[in-house]
Amino acid sequence: MPGTGLSKLWGYPKNRMRSVMIRETLCKILPTVSKPARYTGNELNAVRKNWDEVQVRMVFAFPDVYEVGMSHMGGRILYGLVNNHADFLMERTFAPWPDMEEKMRENGIPLFSLESFMPVGDFDVVGFSLQYELSYSNVLNMLDLAGIPLLSRDRDDAHPLVIAGGPSAFNPEPLADFIDAFIIGDGEEAILQVLSSVRKSIGRRRHERLKELAAVQGVYVPAFYEVKYNGDGTIAGINPRLPGIPNRVKKAVIPDLDQAYFPVAPVVPYLGIIHDRAVLEVMRGCQRGCRFCQAGIIYRPARERTVDRLMEMVRQTIKSTGFDEVSLASLSSADYSGIQELTRGLIDEHGPQGIGVALPSLRADAFSVGLAQEVQRVRKTTLTFAPEAGTQRLRDVINKNVTEEDILNACKAAFDAGWLGVKLYFMLGLPTETDEDLDGIIELVRKIKRLAAERSRRAPKIHVGLAFFVPKPHTPFQWEPQITTEEMMRKRRYILEKGRIRGVKYDFHDPATSYLEGLISRGDRRLGEVILGAWQRGARFDGWREYFNLENYLRALEAAGLDPEFYANRRRELNEILPWEIIDTGVTAEFLMAERERAYKGEPTLDCREEGCQDCGICPGLGVDLQVKGGGQCAGG
Amino acid sequence: MRWWIEYEKGPAIRYLSHLDMVRLWERLFRRSGLPLQLTQGFNPHLKISLGTVLPVGLWGRREYLDVKLGGDIEPEELCSRLRAVAPPGIEIRRARRLARELPSLMAVIDTSIYRFKYPASLETAIRKAAERMERASEIRVIRPKDRKEVNIRPGIIRIKCIPGADEFILEFTVFSGGRETVRFSELLPALDEMGLQRKKIVDYWREGNYVRTNDQLIDPMELD
């Protein structure tokens, strides 16, 4: 089939037969798969380094499809950072869509990288990005497609080192059997230290290399730890097997974000991707302290960039990419202290060229609506707010420091400014939730609907997104049971029956998906067998509705003799050893327990940027500081 | 100032859709730093329109776009500014400043040339098939779009055989505007019929796009 042009274009590397063979076969199969441009690479700003001129070759492996993986900011950072280093190279690979996987297996093409079309198994390091638990089956599938033994213990000196990082790595245990080493925390400095360690240990035995790696701050090598269990299935102890291995692994942290590397010439995809714009990380971390939020703990402390540096980053990024939109990313961008100066500066400088600014994470208050109004280009779409819970009582429990008045004012401001609808996010199944809280959601939605009707001649649209709460490791709710899928379905019915309001649309997360996420996210290393079993039964792309099937996991659990309720629906004792305790986020267990107590009492814990230190332990624990650098006031404080 | 630009959409980016190409050009122009003209309104975009649309999977030697730019610049300088920021796969060939108002490229281009490259060993079979198609009064194919049977013979202006060293090229000149339009996707089933199945094809592409006046094919860059 037509493809001569492809092999001509992909001329490099000529001397590597495996790459040439992959390219030749690709020419044959690409015309037969959906969205072939996912697999052809060669985008603007992609970096193709000579394999013979570097010492360590790493491939960044994202366990989802190209359009999702390319939207991920962390990958862009690592890609630029590693390729800036003369001795290292980093290429990219993504999970092939099932139609492509089938063709690859049929034609004997291993998983390959998008830069040199080399087999993933030929790299020195394969690094997976773990963004959510539902991508774990894809991690296994990608290892399998790469011809790398799935189990860490089955790999020998010739196989790549398989590492992983990202937010889900903060409970590494469910993947402990498959990953040689995890990087926990900020990757900017850690990745270079890891690759330097790998370079230093070239030619040595795998075991020795991993021992070398385990000395880097933030690196966790699960094989060096032994987990013992009690009769009731809880953990009796997690102990290092070797001398010199730390009892707990402290996360890696970038003390000064403003000085940290940020890519200003990211790869520009040809395909439309999920977040198709320049992304600017204005700050990392968030001090709001919502008690359900894992990101709020694991990315502490909040560190900001300066407005000057951000303005310069945007200038360079637009010049090198031609993107027409800049997204100001962080966990809560309206909390960035320089947000007004930055958005105004960006609009003044780039607005006339038709370049827009996007604020993806808004708070439910009038200040945020004001910001949204300043940056909006396409008027009269929808604004999104996340009250998370329907009553003040429950919002106090989760420390969502927003009042009904804030929410209503935000909606009022939005409708007055011409928005035709709002999207509201809530969580169902939060600790202490009763049907009164569900009534609260309906009541709040009804009030907002009334506000909208008073202010707009056209029928306003109100979308209500409802997710089921998943208790996450390292949060004050890490000991809480998750509600059962039956209870999830009951709450869904309750809302649908009692909340019928004209012009209001409810959209629920899938209970089975939420359940699996809950089960894996607080799992221990015995779940490795389950993930393997589910993959063997066909699990992949579990985050995609069309492929997800809970049965794969339930049957694998049964075969492994494990009880799903033990992981998902059980209230853990405060003195229980939790699988993820091996990871030290810097936030103390005492703080989490105190937060849990305050949650039950409905007591708030305020933002330490405004109200002083709340003793979470992060700054003294990691030797870092809060960094407020945007110059302005802490907005909305 | 309004410009027509002739470019190659190379084999490297043959799998890009029309929408991908629109995005590619907008970004390319923005990187160039040329004085762009924006549409009015809440969601301003560049005044670019792609005059020719290639189906996914096809590359094109001579494709065209129409763009409005501010300021004054020489065609050669415009080309080199664009070349400096073009992604792999795009080759800027020529630029033409429109001195007077001309209709849109999309409206004037009505003829296209497609080429199919086969191994040289198939020469005899290709020549025979070409002759048969040339003589036929009807070539009926099932149109992939709506599974309807259509006769594409009236839309085929010329069939040509071009011998090469290792390969042999079969070339079709077809109407690409008006009622008798023959789409690329309709040529493939015709070739299947003739025993020149698509799996034997080494490569295919669109060689060029033209404006037909009095049976003459005029290069859009020369049109007056």
pLDDT in tens, A181-214: 999 999 999 999 999 999 999 999 999 999 999 9
> What is the model's pLDDT at position A634?
45
Q: Is B81 on the interface with A (CB under 8 A)?
A: no
Q: What would the two tokens of residue A92 be? A: 């990219």
3-state class (DSSP) for residue A329: strand
Per-residue model confidence as pLDDT tens digits over B13-64: 999 999 999 999 999 999 999 998 888 776 777 889 998 889 999 999 999 9
Q: Is B110 on the interface with A (CB under 8 A)?
A: no
Say yes or no to pLDDT of A11 above 70: no
Show the 3-state SS of A87-101. Answer: CEEEEEEECCCHHHH
Per-residue model confidence as pLDDT tens digits over A72-92: 999 999 999 999 999 999 999
Place B143 in a pLDDT band, splitting at 50, 70 and 90: confident
Mean pLDDT for A143-159 is: 97
Picking from B152, B171, B153, B151, the residue whose alpha carbon sits closest to that of residue B161 is: B171
Say yes or no to pLDDT of B144 above 90: no
Residue to mutate among A32, A42, A270, A420, with most B CBs inside 10 A, is A270
CATH placement of domain A277-526+562-622: 3.80.30.20
Q: What would the two tokens of residue A416 be? A: 């007055």
Phi then psi for B144, rounded to 5 degrees? -60, -35
CB count within 10 Å of CB A505 equals 12
Would you say the pTM of this structure is higher than 0.90? yes
3-state class (DSSP) for residue B8: strand
- Tell me how close the Cα of B47 comes to any Cα of chain A, in angstroms: 12
> What is the model's pLDDT at position A377?
63
Q: Which residues of B touch A48 (CB under 8 A)?
A: none
Q: Which residues of A touch B38 (CB under 8 A)?
A: 353-354
pLDDT above 90: percentage of residues in chain A: 81
> What is the model's pLDDT at position A74?
95
Per-residue model confidence as pLDDT tens digits over A16-64: 888 989 998 998 899 999 999 999 999 999 999 999 999 999 999 999 9
Mean pLDDT for A425-437 is: 98
Nearest to A5 among B38, B59, B198 (CB): B59
Segment among A64-78, A478-492, B135-149 with least mean pLDDT: B135-149
Say yes or no to pLDDT of A378 above 70: no
Q: What mean pLDDT value characterizes chain A?
A: 93
Q: Which residues of B touch A30 (CB under 8 A)?
A: 15
Picking from B110, B111, B113, B115, the residue whose alpha carbon sits closest to that of residue B191 is: B115
Picking from A346, A323, A223, the residue whose alpha carbon sits closest to that of residue A269 is: A323
Say yes or no to pLDDT of B102 above 90: no
Extents of the domains making up chain B: 2-105, 109-222
Place B154 in a pLDDT band, splitting at 50, 70 and 90: very high
Q: Contact at 8 Å (CB) between B33 and B26?
A: no
Dist CA A212 CA A303 (whole Å) = 30
Say yes or no to pLDDT of B198 above 90: no
Look at A270 and B43 and tell me if their CB atoms are within 8 Å: no
Q: Which residues of B touch A268 (CB under 8 A)?
A: 27, 87
Look at B57 and A321 and tell me if their CB atoms are within 8 Å: no
> What is the model's pLDDT at position A610?
84
Let me know if B38 is exposed, middle or buried by CB neighbors in 10 A (0-12, 13-18, 19+).
Answer: middle
> What is the model's pLDDT at position A6?
53
3-state class (DSSP) for residue B61: strand
Instruction: Name residue, tokens 């005899």.
Output: B124
> What is the model's pLDDT at position A379?
52
Dist CA A262 CA A56 (whole Å) = 22
Q: Which residues of A touch B199 (CB under 8 A)?
A: 1
Say yes or no to pLDDT of A636 above 50: no
CATH placement of domain B109-222: 3.30.70.260
Nearest to A4 among B38, B43, B203 (CB): B203
Nearest to A270 among B20, B29, B31 (CB): B20
> What is the model's pLDDT at position A15?
65
Helices (H), B58-122: 75-84, 105-108
> What is the model's pLDDT at position A298?
97
3-state DSSP percent of chain B in helix, strand and coil, to 5: 30, 35, 35
Say yes or no to pLDDT of A137 above 80: yes
CATH class belonging to B2-105: alpha beta
Q: Contact at 8 Å (CB) between A268 and A44?
A: yes
Segment among A108-117, A353-362, B47-56 with least mean pLDDT: A353-362
Q: Is A42 on the interface with B (CB under 8 A)?
A: yes
Q: Which residues of B touch A42 (CB under 8 A)?
A: 12-13, 88-89
Extents of the domains making up chain A: 4-242, 277-526+562-622
Say yes or no to pLDDT of A142 above 80: yes
Contacts of A569 (CB under 8 A, 6+ apart): A481, A482, A483, A484
Nearest to A30 among B15, B43, B205 (CB): B15
Residues A49, A50, A55, A61, CA torsion sign: positive
Phi then psi for B166, rounded to 5 degrees? -105, -15
Which residues, numbered 43 to 62 in chain A, qualify as contacts with chain B under a Cβ-Cβ cut-off of 8 Å? Answer: 43-44
The secondary element (H helix, E strand) that includes residue B149 is strand B149-151
Instruction: Name residue, tokens 């049957």.
Output: A555
- Tell me how close the Cα of A276 comes to any Cα of chain B, in angstroms: 10
> What is the model's pLDDT at position A381?
67
Place A3 in a pLDDT band, splitting at 50, 70 and 90: low
> What is the model's pLDDT at position A442?
97
Nearest to A40 among B15, B28, B199 (CB): B15
Look at B12 and A378 and tell me if their CB atoms are within 8 Å: no
Q: At what angle do helices A73-83 and A187-200 cross, to 10 degrees?
A: 40
Q: Which residues of A touch B205 (CB under 8 A)?
A: 2, 5
Q: Contact at 8 Å (CB) between A294 and A474?
A: yes
Q: Contact at 8 Å (CB) between B112 and B210?
A: yes
Per-residue model confidence as pLDDT tens digits over A259-290: 999 999 999 999 988 888 999 999 999 989 99
The one-character DSSP state at A305 is -
Please give the torsion angle defined by the CA atoms of residues A593, A599, A605 and A607, in that order, rounded to the nearest 10 degrees.
Answer: 90
> What is the model's pLDDT at position A365?
83
Say yes or no to pLDDT of A151 above 90: yes
Mean pLDDT for A523-542 is: 98
Say yes or no to pLDDT of A7 above 90: no
Dist CA B22 CA B12 (whole Å) = 17
Q: Which residues of A touch B20 (CB under 8 A)?
A: 37, 270-272
Mean pLDDT for B122-130 is: 94
Q: What would the two tokens of residue A607 be? A: 């933002």
Q: CATH homologous superfamily of domain A4-242? A: Response regulator (3.40.50.2300)
Q: Is B199 on the interface with A (CB under 8 A)?
A: yes
Q: Is A8 on the interface with B (CB under 8 A)?
A: yes
Q: Which residues of A touch B83 (CB under 8 A)?
A: none
Segment among A438-442, A454-458, A560-564 with least mean pLDDT: A454-458
Domains B2-105 and B109-222 share a fold: yes
Say yes or no to pLDDT of A4 above 70: no
Q: Is B117 on the interface with A (CB under 8 A)?
A: yes
Residues B35, B40, B42, B48, CA torsion sign: negative
